[in-house]
Amino acid sequence: MTFSVHGLAVARGIAIGRAVLVASSRVDVAHYFIQHAQVSEELERLTQAREAVLEELQGLHDNLPKDSPPELAAILEVHLMLVQDTMLADGVAGWIKDRFYNAEWALTSQLDVVARQFDEMDDAYLRERKGDLEQVVERMLRHMKGVAHVVPQASNKRSNQPRQQDLQLDDEMDVPLVLVAHDLSPADMLQFKQSVFAGFVTDVGGKTSHTAIVARSLDIPAVVGARTASQLVRQDDWIIIDGDAGVVIVNPSPIILAEYGFKQRQADLERERLLRLRHTPAVTLDGQRVDLLANIEMPDDAPAALDVGAVGVGLFRSEFLFMGRAGALPDEEEQYLAYKRAVDGMKGLPVTIRTVDIGADKPLDRTAKDETHLNPALGLRAIRWSLADPAMFLTQLRAILRAAAHGQVHLLIPMLAHAREIQQTFALLEKARRQLDARGDVFGPVKVGAMIEVPAAALSVKMFLRHFDYLSIGTNDLIQYTLAIDRADELVAHLYDPLHPAVLRLLADTIAESRAQGKSVSVCGEMAGDPAMTRLLLGLGLRNFSMHPTQILAVKQEVIRADASRLEAWAQDVLASDEPAQLMGL
């Protein structure tokens, strides 16, 4: 029977193949009390599982192919840090010693405690790190059960029960595999040869989960957040993944299969055509130059940006330096070396480094354990957190200024809303310069920009332009705060609308005012990387787009096909419409 499952499209493209169900080891975890004499035995089981996973992940990391995307190595490093995190290990040991839980029960109990802390985080990217922790625990549970690798499910069942024996996949089989799982870690993905790994579907996950990031970097079609997909799909079912629409079609009819096979071939041809645009300037038909920049997560992402013809880095997220450290903060030298590596990697092209955009929640929070955040999405995050901890902020500013001695560096401040925040930021930046000067350290000049991601900032854009060299519009948060929508809440996520008239008005006014004052303005949210939005943004006057490197060529194609001057009147019609999506044919 043919049916479809809907989720989030996180990596574009079409995949067709046979379903391989990946079982979850958390199903039916044994729960029982142990005797006092058994405590040391359970602690030893915990230690052995932890060491086995550490060795396994380290082996995967050390044996990555040279052509692997840099995201894989960085994500495996995050998993390695989580395995060694004392907060997890000490907490599990506490359940065993104090409550006399067996090791598996203790491990899942501590996971639930830490997972709740991740759920309270205001930053979507950091909330998704809960998935990384769950994947690490999953691997430990597998070792406790004597299963050391990804386990496909039996072909005649729909349940999540793992097989009793270990099944090895035939990596030499010709039929492409489509992995279907409740969740799938990047480390698990490495255990399938890329030649037959066509795509994957998971019940959980979001657009910023590490699994989604790896899928985009590998250019593998993927749908996450498909809820009950792993329960509905059977082993060896034929699967079509429509990574553009976020749809999974199970057991398609011959007609549908042929239709998507044709689409897949067309997509492959289109990908080959796009590769020819790598060195083509992004210039519209009427001669307007457009700068296409890359969003990067880690310093080693720079080569991928250069490979697709990015003219710089429009957003370098510095959060990776602060993650998985059990509350510790990176020192100045560590940050400086990371920023310098990104600057060197871009070979003279500009790099925009955003100061840390996280909240005061765990695992970075060093406040009292019983402190609660009633509404963390509106709490102490981004620049608010930085200004609340001047020593931490000064350390980051000094590191960025030192990196600026090696190339073009732009400094970007997130989530500003108040004049006093602007004043405090510039005062601390000047203090960081004085500190470096007093130490005799070499540092370079930086252009300073502000993120426009709060409606108050968009409505005060003239004030921002008086203080800053450039602006960068973070559409993800701007949409979320304008519409009072939590993108991570599945109950209201359908109301998240980048084409809402209010959102478009804030966007248009910010672009127009920036251009009127001769200041550079860019968009660095998901809208910038969506080819369906390119013509509208060009018509509104945008000339700087920043996006994931894999999206650059598709957007460039839209740019070189567009006549920006002719799009201006049409863009104004879209702005005036009550239903902009209908006018755009979306």
Amino acid 157: pLDDT: 38
Tell me phi and psi for residue 240, to 5 degrees: -115, 125
SS3 state of residue 408: coil
Same domain (yes/no): 82, 230: no
**CATH number of domain containing 60:** 1.10.274.10
Amino acid 360: pLDDT: 39
Same domain (yes/no): 127, 233: no
Amino acid 335: pLDDT: 96
Amino acid 411: pLDDT: 99
Same domain (yes/no): 509, 360: yes
Strand partners, 353: 316, 411
Amino acid 159: pLDDT: 36
Same domain (yes/no): 478, 569: yes
* Average pLDDT, 10 consecutive residues per value, the chain (586 residues): 88 88 62 88 92 89 76 80 83 89 87 75 67 85 68 40 34 69 71 65 76 74 89 89 92 93 89 91 97 91 92 93 72 96 97 85 41 60 93 97 98 97 98 98 98 97 98 93 78 82 98 98 92 96 94 96 96 94 82
Q: Which helix (H) or strand (E) holds 291?
A: strand 291-296
In a domain, 274, yes or no: no
| pLDDT, tens only, 209-241 | 667 777 776 778 999 888 889 889 988 899 999
Same domain (yes/no): 332, 306: yes
- Straight-line distance from the first to the last Cα atom of the chain, in angstroms, rounded to the nearest whole number: 30
Per annotation, catalytic residue among 143, 182, 410, 524: 524
Q: Minimal CA–CA distance to 75: which of 14, 7, 125, 20?
A: 125
SS3 state of residue 149: coil
Same domain (yes/no): 93, 120: yes
Residue with tokens 């005797």: 35
Same domain (yes/no): 4, 31: no
Same domain (yes/no): 33, 141: yes
Q: Minimal CA–CA distance to 522: which of 340, 313, 282?
A: 313
Same domain (yes/no): 423, 468: yes
Catalytic (active site) residue 524: yes
User: Whole-angstrom Cα distance, residue 115 to residue 138?
Assistant: 13
Q: What is the pTM of this model?
A: 0.71
Domain termination site, one of 91, 115, 146: 146
Strand partners, 178: 19, 199
Taking CA atoms, 472 is separated from 43, 297, 522, in Å, by 50, 17, 5
Amino acid 143: pLDDT: 85
Per annotation, catalytic residue among 61, 79, 182, 210: 210
**Cβ neighbours, 10 Å, residue 44:** 11
Q: Which helix (H) or strand (E) holds 72?
A: helix 70-84
Same domain (yes/no): 35, 76: yes
User: Whole-angstrom Cα distance, residue 255 to residue 263?
Assistant: 12
| pLDDT, tens only, 195-211 | 467 898 998 877 766 67
Domain termination site, one of 118, 146, 174: 146
* DSSP structure string for 456-498: HHHHTHHHHHHH-SEEEE-HHHHHHHHHT--TT-TTTGGG--T
Amino acid 82: pLDDT: 86
User: Whole-angstrom Cα distance, residue 353 to residue 582?
Assistant: 37
Same domain (yes/no): 432, 573: yes
Could you list the residue range(s) of the whole structural domain that residue 168 is in?
1-25+151-252
Q: Which helix (H) or strand (E) holds 450?
A: strand 446-452
Tell me whether strands 3-6 and 446-452 are parallel, antiparallel or unpaired: unpaired
Same domain (yes/no): 296, 381: yes
In a domain, 227, yes or no: yes
